[in-house]
Amino acid sequence: MPVARTRSVALLGLAGSIVEVEADLSSQLPAFVIIGLPDAALAEARERVRSAAVNAGCPLPQRRLTVNLSPAALPKHGSGFDLAIAIACLAAAGEIARESVDRVVHLGELGLDGRLRPIDGILPAVLAASRAGHDTVMVPAGNAAEASLVPGVTVIGVASLLEAAIWHGGAYEVREIDAVPSTDRADEPEQVPGDLADVAGNEEAVEALLVAAAGGHHMFLLGPPGAGKTMLASRLPGILPDLDSDAALEVASLRSLAGGRLVNGLSLRPPFEAPHHTATAAAMVGGGSRLIRPGAAARATHGVLFLDEAPEFPASVLDVLRQPLESGSVSIHRATAVASFPARFQLVLAANPCPCGGYDSPGNECTCPPSMRRRYLGRISGPLLDRIDVQLKVPRVTAAGLRLMGERTGITSDEARARVIEARAAASDRLLGTPWRTNAEMPGPWLRGAGGLHPGGKATAALDRALERGGVTMRGYDRVLKVAWTIADLDGAVRPGADQVGRAFYLRKGIPA
């Protein structure tokens, strides 16, 4: 009797590999053997599949069943192979059509009652199947809405193993079975950021926020408690442009892999991640002993990663962000595999000037000695700060400042987003034909070459002197030029002049050393 085969997907990070599930039925003593480098959860599928088949009404034959997961050298994790194993075994027994199961990718975990339970990571798994050339995927009913987000794929949502077997031509009695619903644990309502017009005063900080949004630049806000640092950072996602379809699908895939459910479809708004300062390095970039999951930095891809009270984070946690800020990706190395996640986010750091928060703030007496203040801010390393384009001191709003504002209201998020979209469109037109789309992505050699800001020119004279005196590093020099281009795009200028470069240099050095 020929071997029956179907397919499933093994996820490693955000990438998925097609796994061929082969089942062979032989006339030996009853046994159920799974080979092909399964982990403990997958090896336990022997008991789940056999019990589920009996309770669903489509029992497996009492003979030796050998299931091979190919390629055998690829590590396979989790219970998402249950459906594929059960379907391959039923096809090997001749209960369902072999041709039918061979052209469908099966994903799902079986309960002992034969029902299919939703699994994490269904979106990247279906996306991997689509990219491998498969156009039909069978998933648990609770995952069907999420799986349907992948274009060009026919998604078959089934509530139980019995329903799956009948779909493949099995001659079984139809039963009414309630599907296992999708869990709510990560299906939180989409957070709506507050309006930028709510920010009272701090016009300089609002303008710096516009620059950061328009160019995709990282930002550091330093100021006393109550100055509005958190309010400013939380408004940043609201003034960023909508995601395109590819970026939205990538963001949704990361959320799915992290255990989220996407029953409301793709969200086009950039994500916002704000981990607590007790987060570990693994929580920040991702990890796990068995199934490698994305951390906060990966989940913030195409959005904002906000670290409030940044000096309270362990220095080792902050420094793990240095490599993702340069490369835009995170690689998690394990003994048997390497998982990669995208991590192209905007980093926003916020900090008080000292542990008590009163230093350099009128009306507040600071009780911290100078050495303590230095140690406090010294937890944010120089190499990390060197990667932050916009560094600004945010003072408290005074009563005099409020009176000067009078009835005048600040710029709204909608108005700010329109300016940001216009500036990004100008940058995109200028960068047409290059692999970059925002000013923050431009490399230094291109900036100082084809970008037109050659050292020694009138526009960069002050910046050149700062580089000569050691007031700015070479990386900082290039980042000032990137911010200058963003300011020019916001101003509608053809190219940055001395004014734009000077304003960019101020945003770079807005926090006194």
Is 450 a member of any domain?
no
Q: Are residues 272 and 414 in the same domain?
A: yes
Residue 408 confidence (pLDDT): 58
Q: How far apart (Å, rounded) are the C-alpha atoms in residues 397 and 401?
A: 6
Does the structure show a pLDDT above 70 at 263? Answer: no
Residue 38 confidence (pLDDT): 87
Is 503 a member of any domain?
no
Residue 482 confidence (pLDDT): 94
Q: What is the mean pLDDT of residues 252-269?
A: 84
Least confident residue range of 135-139, 275-279, 336-340, 508-512: 508-512
Is 175 a member of any domain?
no
Query: Tell me, what CATH number does 388's domain have?
Result: 3.40.50.300
Residue with the larger pLDDT of the pair 497 and 41: 497
Angle between helices 498-508 and 474-491 (to 10 degrees): 120
Q: How far apart (Å, rounded) are the C-alpha atoms in residues 83 and 140?
A: 9
Residue 288 confidence (pLDDT): 78
Q: What is the mean pLDDT of residues 366-378?
A: 90
Q: What is the mean pLDDT of residues 209-213?
A: 96
Residue with the larger pLDDT of the pair 457 and 54: 54
Least confident residue range of 118-122, 194-198, 339-343: 194-198
Q: Burial-class residue 119 by CB neighbours within 10 Å (0-12, 13-18, 19+).
A: buried
CB proximity list for 403: less than 8 A, separation 6 or greater? none
> What pLDDT digit, counting tens, does each position of 10-60 carry?
998 888 999 999 999 998 888 999 999 888 888 889 999 999 999 999 999
Q: Please state whether the predicted TM-score (pTM) of the whole model is above 0.95.
A: no
Highest mean pLDDT among 176-185, 196-205, 483-492: 483-492
Is 67 a member of any domain?
yes
Does the structure show a pLDDT above 70 at 480? Answer: yes
3 state SS of 65: strand
Q: Which domain holds residue 37?
A: 4-167
Half-sphere exposure of 66 (CA within 13 A, CB side): 12
Q: Are residues 382 and 334 in the same domain?
A: yes
Q: 412, 441, 470: which is the final residue of a domain?
A: 441
Is 395 a member of any domain?
yes
Residue 470 confidence (pLDDT): 87
Q: Which stretch of DSSP H or E encloses residue 56?
A: helix 45-56
Does the structure show a pLDDT above 90 at 154? Answer: yes
> What pLDDT digit, counting tens, does each position of 77-134 carry?
888 999 999 999 999 999 999 999 999 999 999 999 999 999 999 999 999 999 999 9
Q: Are residues 157 and 243 in the same domain?
A: no
Q: How far apart (Å, rounded) are the C-alpha atoms in residues 103 and 35?
A: 22
Is 277 a member of any domain?
yes
Percent of the chain with pLDDT over 90: 63
Q: Are residues 80 and 120 in the same domain?
A: yes
Residue with the larger pLDDT of the pair 398 and 502: 502
Q: Are residues 358 and 299 in the same domain?
A: yes
Domain count, the chain: 2
Q: 441, 461, 484: which is the final residue of a domain?
A: 441
Query: Tell me, what CATH number does 162's domain have?
Result: 3.30.230.10
3 state SS of 7: strand
Residue 186 confidence (pLDDT): 43
Q: How confident is the model at residue 181 (pLDDT cuts 50, 70, 90)?
A: confident
Q: Are residues 332 and 401 in the same domain?
A: yes
Q: Which two tokens stand for residue 92?
A: 């090997």
Q: Are residues 206 and 99 in the same domain?
A: no
Q: Are residues 292 and 437 in the same domain?
A: yes
Q: How confident is the model at residue 1 (pLDDT cuts 50, 70, 90)?
A: low
Tell me how far the alpha carbon of residue 325 is from its chain's centroid: 14
Q: Are residues 131 and 207 in the same domain?
A: no
Name residue 136's beta-bridge partners.
Answer: 154
Does the structure show a pLDDT above 60 at 187? Answer: no
Is 493 a member of any domain?
no
Q: 146, 167, 188: which is the final residue of a domain?
A: 167
Query: What amino acid is encoded at 391 in this protein?
Result: Q
Q: What is the mean pLDDT of residues 306-318?
A: 95
Least confident residue range of 128-132, 169-173, 191-195, 458-462: 191-195
Q: Are residues 162 and 202 in the same domain?
A: no
**Mean of pLDDT over the chain:** 89
Least confident residue range of 25-34, 392-401, 478-487: 392-401
Q: Are residues 275 and 207 in the same domain?
A: yes
Q: How far apart (Å, rounded) are the C-alpha atoms in residues 395 and 401?
A: 11
Q: Are residues 237 and 300 in the same domain?
A: yes
Is 474 a member of any domain?
no
